[in-house]
Chain A
Amino acid sequence: EVKLEESGGGLVQPGGSMKLSCVASGFTFSNYWMNWVRQSPEKGLEWVAEIRLKSNNYATHYAESVKGRFTISRDDSKSSVYLQMNNLRAEDTGIYYCTRRTDYWGQGTTLTVSS
């Protein structure tokens, strides 16, 4: 059974940093592109970042809204993907989902950026 479990959300002040983690199981992690997608009442579902495979030199892509502030990374030995978020803004508030390409989604972790 494919499982994706996110962790690391919480409350952070504007300008602060947070790192989200996602541990995968039930499939060969190193064979799949991984994404972070977020959801908020204001913006709905918004793709955030993608990381490809070792054979793609772990190429990364970002939404314009987070480029330069967020960094996606992966550790295939731990079946894990991460999202380092810096210089956080109120509009980054939402539920962050780890997704396997386009099919499986985790249950999400909530980030609140507020003073």
Chain B
Amino acid sequence: DIVMTQAAFSNPVTLGTSASISCRSSKSLLHSNGITYLYWYLQKPGQSPQLLIYQMSNLASGVPDRFSSSGSGTDFTLRISRVEAEDVGVYYCAQNLELPTFGGGTKLEIK
């Protein structure tokens, strides 16, 4: 299985500033078709996970463009510019190159 690794907590951020969350995979998620099968989800308190980013850098429908993602085959970063109170929750990375696996989640910490 591909192992996805995330820190449990983000660096504390102030509302209105930017935040970065990292994720690492144990195997390159870059397929021969050129697509990187990396996904980002946000689970807000009391809710189910919601898709933010698909195939490493594509914004899901309805997601604010304050969210962006980049990376190589194994190291990925989710960036949130101008963090808002509604962004609070746990961020998960996941891969779908092989049978799906998830990272342990990173809780966004607000100062």
State the A residues within 8 Å of B (CB). Answer: 35, 37, 44-47, 50, 61, 63, 97, 102-108
Taken together as a complex, chains A and B put the C-alpha atoms of A105 and B49 apart, in Å, by: 7
* Selected contact of B39 from candidates A102, A104, A106, CB within 8 Å: A102
* Selected contact of B60 from candidates A45, A63, A103, CB within 8 Å: A103
What class of interface size applies to chain B in its complex with A? 10 to 19
Q: Does B48 contact A (CB under 8 A)?
A: yes
Taken together as a complex, chains A and B put the C-alpha atoms of A102 and B62 apart, in Å, by: 16
Q: A37-B102, A46-B102, A104-B51 are in contact. List 16 more A-B contacts (CB 8 A).
A: A37-B100, A44-B104, A44-B105, A45-B49, A45-B92, A45-B94, A45-B102, A47-B101, A50-B99, A63-B99, A97-B49, A102-B39, A102-B96, A102-B100, A103-B54, A107-B47
Residue of B whose beta carbon sits closest to that of A62: B99
CB A65 to nearest CB in B, in angstroms, measures: 11
* Selected contact of A107 from candidates B48, B60, B101, CB within 8 Å: B48
Given A102-B39, A102-B94, A103-B60, also A47-B100 (CB < 8 A): yes
Q: Are B102 and A44 in contact (CB under 8 A)?
A: yes
8 A Cβ contacts from B55-108 to A: 60, 92, 94, 96, 99-102, 104-105
Q: Does B18 contact A (CB under 8 A)?
A: no
Q: Are A108 and B99 in contact (CB under 8 A)?
A: no
Q: Does B50 contact A (CB under 8 A)?
A: yes
Q: Are B99 and A45 in contact (CB under 8 A)?
A: no
CB A32 to nearest CB in B, in angstroms, measures: 14
Which residues from B are CB-within-8-Å of A105? 48-51
Taken together as a complex, chains A and B put the C-alpha atoms of A37 and B100 apart, in Å, by: 9
CB B87 to nearest CB in A, in angstroms, measures: 18
Taken together as a complex, chains A and B put the C-alpha atoms of A35 and B99 apart, in Å, by: 11
Taken together as a complex, chains A and B put the C-alpha atoms of A104 and B49 apart, in Å, by: 9
Which residues from B are CB-within-8-Å of A45? 49, 92, 94, 102, 105
Taken together as a complex, chains A and B put the C-alpha atoms of A63 and B1 apart, in Å, by: 10
